[in-house]
Amino acid sequence: MDVVRRLKEAGFTALWAGGCVRDHLLGKTPKDYDVATDATPKQVKKAFAKRKTVDVGASFGVIMVVGPRGAGEVEVATFRCDGSYSDGRHPDSVTFSSPEEDAQRRDFTINGMFFDPLEHKVLDFVGGARDLSQGYVRAIGDPHARMTEDKLRMLRAVRFTASLEFGLARATKAAVTEMASQIHVVSAERIAAELRRMLTDQHRHIAVALADEVGLLREILPEVVMPGSGEAPEENDGRKPQVVLATSENLSPQLSALRLLQQPSFELAFAMLLRGVSNIEAICRRLKLSNDELEKTAWLVRQQDALREPDKLTLAQLKRLLAHPFRDDLLSLMRATLLAEHADPHPVLFCEQFLEATPPKVLNPPPLVTGNDLIALGLKPGPRFKQLLDEVRDAQLNGELADRSAALEWVRARLDVKS
């Protein structure tokens, strides 16, 4: 409001624009506020000479105004219309223009409105208010043309439809369905960013189901739609392996479990979606996820069933799992999986009680024997060295070794047997 007021004082038109208007009208707190104005970037900078401004996209006419401490920043963009799109993602050029034209370049009617926060007036050139009240995500103008310009809009359509619990307007949905195979024009990073937002949203199961329905899921995560596609075919009588049809049917267990996750991390929701899929690392790399995301997702998928029968694990196995840094996500994964299967939640309760009853120094005690001890015993680091360390750690966690000297004795005995 401050930014709008300042621009108006300087004699310009200034309005809230796009997503923040949508969220404001829905009574939600916007993630970020954008202001649109008839001031040129130069004039914007001049109007905010006393504030810090950053050229975030000078060629697109976007200036970021940094607010007072704690207030965040506001992107101020000059009303513009976009030129042609030749790369399927970005306009080749932009021209400064009017609010009417600026509305036309936006993706969906609900994202195409302006709001004057001082006068409390909505400016709607695209029928956004009606779609917002009726609950539709509808492309502005010809859906096919708009998706052709910028293919990222296909994923945005799915994300907004799911997160708002709206319907996707028929022609818009048809355009997305028809063009889904062209999503690969969009960079892996942007696809992953959309996936992160869809999967951490409360309506993640709706997003996945809709992405499946319009054919985007098959493009982005074929492994999920066609389980086994990344694995070696099973041995059979020499005929071609059976192709699993791409239907939502084999997705439904994941969808119920996804729905049951409560405020999951991205990795947890992603691991749930990837249940039963084998080549997790390759998928994460293809989507250019961070190494941390890859590590956590892959671990969670690998251990997805490890806590199904916790009372059948050795003490060492149980302690290792429950002392792991990703333990809380693993327990949430197990809880939602069991709930989705209408199975007894006992395994999770068992683990929670075990954790409550087990002090940290029993759950994850300092090792009795370290690599230095093995070196002192004349061993050289290598696979066998590592294995021995793991074994003595297991014995310790299983409560088989009273103290350090017992542990060293145990190692020596193993060495004698082996040699």
Give whichever of 60 and 350 is closer to ligand ATP, judged by the CB atom. 60
d(CA 368, CA 171): 67
Rounded to whole angstroms, what are the CA distances from 54 to 59, 74, 351? 13, 10, 51
Query: Least separation, in Å, of the C-beta of 146 and ligand ATP?
Result: 8
Q: Is 131 in the site for ligand ATP (CB under 6 A)?
A: no
Which one of Mg ion, ligand ATP, none interacts with residue 150, CB within 5 to 8 A by kind? Answer: ligand ATP
**Whose CA is closest to 21, among 114, 120, 99, 102?**
114
Cβ-based neighbour number of residue 209 at 10 Å: 21
Q: Is 112 in the site for Mg ion (CB under 5 A)?
A: no
The dihedral over CA atoms of 224, 230, 231, 232, expressed in degrees to the nearest 10, equals 140
Rounded to whole angstroms, what are the CA distances from 88 to 152, 157, 353, 359? 9, 16, 54, 57
Which one of Mg ion, ligand ATP, none interacts with residue 173, CB within 5 to 8 A by kind? Answer: none
Which one of ligand ATP, Mg ion, none interacts with residue 111, CB within 5 to 8 A by kind? Answer: ligand ATP
Contact mark string toward ligand ATP, 293..332, x via CB under 6 A: ----------------------------------------
By CB under 6 A, name the one of 31, 69, 120, 240 that touches ligand ATP.
31
Beta strands in 162-311 (DSSP E): 167-168
With CB under 6 A as the contact rule, which of the stretches 31-39, 212-220, 229-237, 393-401 interacts with ligand ATP? 31-39
d(CA 330, CA 194): 24
- Report the Cα 367 to chain-centroid distance in Å: 36
Applying CB under 6 A, the site for ligand ATP has a residue count of 12
What does residue 250 show for φ and ψ, rounded to 5 degrees?
-80, 0
Applying CB under 5 A, the site for Mg ion has a residue count of 2
Which one of ligand ATP, Mg ion, none interacts with residue 347, CB within 5 to 8 A by kind? Answer: none
Q: Which residues bind Mg ion (CB under 5 A)?
A: 19, 32
Q: Which residues bind ligand ATP (CB under 6 A)?
A: 18-19, 31-32, 34, 106-107, 111-112, 150, 152-153
